[in-house]
Amino acid sequence: MKKRWLLNLVMLCVVASLVAFLYLRPKQTAEQEANYDISAYKLAEFNAISVEFPAKAAVKLDKVNGFWRLSAPINMRADQASVQRILSIIAARSKDKITNPDLEKFGLNNPALKLKLIRDKNSQDKDNVEEFTFGTHNPVTDEQYVAHRNAVYLVSNNYAEAASTQVIELIDKSPLKPTEKIAGFDFSHLEQWSDTRLNVDLADGKWNVSIAAAKPQQNEMNEWLDFSWVHNPAKSVEMYTPDRKITYPYVLIKLADGSKVRFDKIQESPDLLLARPDEGLIYNFPSDAGFTMLNPPINIPSK
């Protein structure tokens, strides 16, 4: 009797497990099927972007020599990560897809913004442009309706926020272009180095310092270059028009192609403001990082 009771209990457990499996499996499959890809495009397909608003000038970006640039309303280097966030709409997924929708119902007859991804800005082919239009927000899910190719999707608000980023925030905050390779620095026009006429040069992977008493450590100099200039974006940028009546202290960066880039030191405290006249920008660095930028670790023995 006891054995039969145990056998029935085992069979009951097996049946319960089978029922649970059959119940849960269709549910999981349905959940997976409810996620819709907005597109199957690749980032490399597009070489131009246009973000259009109802009441202000469009923001336009172009890919030049592998890097994104702002072309309107200003012509500047663009922050590559910010552009990638704009493009991320192509990888968006949605649990809701409405085909042949009533655009007015979702605020898409007069959209808040239009995002156009362009394969070739010189082409007249109608399939050359992929347009995403952003409508009203869904107060229940805190998501936004987006139309693309005769369908409406409900997606995160982050996509519209990325496309609506202010132009000044889309500007690259790195003081140097990605293609500019540093070969040395001329600090002799800064107050602290005017007497010693400091120059530091990088040749064949080795640092040379113009001050004879200096004892630079190669690894220390390499780290200084990397963290102070190569991978040290400014915390903010602003437009700059040089005043020819004012002479600022400045630093010259020597490039591998033989050219030089000038940075005017507008201010050292409370933040370091370095202006790049050729690009019309002022870069704002925290004072501690700014001090390190203008004072390389050349290790001059104290007297």
pLDDT at 25: 52
How confident is the model at residue 262, as a pLDDT? 98
Three-state secondary-structure class, residue 80: helix
Q: Tokens 């403001």, residue?
A: 273
* CA dist list (Å): 87 to 52, 77, 208, 251: 15, 17, 43, 37
Q: Quote the pLDDT of residue 223.
A: 98
pLDDT of residue 17: 52
pLDDT, one tens digit for every residue, the chain (303 residues): 444 444 444 454 544 554 454 455 544 444 445 689 999 999 999 999 999 999 899 999 999 999 999 999 999 999 999 999 999 999 999 999 999 899 999 999 999 999 999 999 888 887 899 999 999 999 999 999 999 999 999 999 999 999 999 999 999 999 999 999 999 999 999 999 999 999 999 999 999 999 999 999 999 999 999 999 999 999 999 999 999 899 999 999 999 999 999 999 999 999 999 999 999 999 999 999 999 999 999 999 876
pLDDT value of position 123: 86
For the chain, the first-to-last Cα distance in angstroms comes to 100
Sheet hosting strand 113-118, strand order edge to edge: 76-77, 67-72, 59-64, 48-52, 113-118, 129-138, 143-147, 151-156, 97-99
Residue of 103, 92, 235, 91 lying closest to 175 (CA atoms): 235
What pLDDT is attached to residue 15?
A: 42
- Give the containing element (helix H, strand E) for 291: helix 287-293
Per domain, the residue ranges of the chain are 38-170, 182-293
- Give Cα separations from 137 to 142, 148, 217 (angstroms): 7, 16, 57
Q: For the segment 18-48, what is each residue's pLDDT rounded down to a tens digit?
A: 445 445 554 444 444 568 999 999 999 999 9
Q: pLDDT at position 127, please? A: 85
Look up the pTM and report it: 0.84
User: What are the E-state strand segments in 14-150?
Assistant: 36-37, 48-52, 59-64, 67-72, 76-77, 93-94, 97-99, 113-118, 129-138, 143-147
